[in-house]
Amino acid sequence: MAQVSDVLSSGDITKFANLQVIARQVVEGFCSGLHRSPHKGFSVEFKEHRQYVAGDDIRNIDWKLFGKTDRLYIREFEEETNVRVTILLDSSGSMGYTGSRSNGQSKHDYAVHTAACLAYLMLQQQDSVGLVTFDTAVRKHIPPRARPKHLQAIISELKQQKPGNETELGGVFQQM
């Protein structure tokens, strides 16, 4: 079975210590996490004030603001959530190309390393990550999970992949 160290060096992991992958758009998830959610909640990250409406919980009234304005306002906070990521790895024959300045590494080798790095980062921030390898069709699908041991399954599959066949993105996307 392939080890994490087969793809990620301790130097790679050290470089990622302070790195985060954050969604640019608002995302919807089930668990608390790093990414902005469309849901408004009462968590740690303050978002805005809004006027009090009958029926609002009085525990959320900003009493300091009431003292300044004589109007009741509710403090709203932005809820943060997790993300489910699926990494798609092209394992077609063209990925076997090794350029003259690539130190003997193919496009596929670089893609495997990049996929492993991304999976590691996502799992470090408690996001779910999965893997799909493909050429003319989906070769392997590992569903997204957020468990640290899930990285081992992804690395093992990445190491088993060898470039071959043609590329057929349209069919692969329809399968997904």
Average pLDDT, the chain: 84
Query: Of the given ranges (17-21, 43-47, 123-127), which has the lowest mean pLDDT?
Result: 43-47
pLDDT tens by residue, 78-121: 766 688 899 999 999 999 999 888 888 999 999 999 999 999 99
pLDDT at site 23: 63
> What architecture is domain 4-23+83-175?
3-Layer(aba) Sandwich (3.40)
Full-model pTM: 0.67
H helices of the chain, in order, are: 10-15, 63-69, 107-124, 150-160, 169-175
Q: Parse the chain into domains and list their residue ranges.
A: 4-23+83-175, 35-81
- DSSP code, position 61: B
**3-state class percentages of the chain: helix first, strand second, coil last, to nearest 5:** 35, 25, 40
Cβ neighbours of 47 (radius 10 Å): 14
Please give the Cα distance from 5 to 7 (Å, whole number). Answer: 5
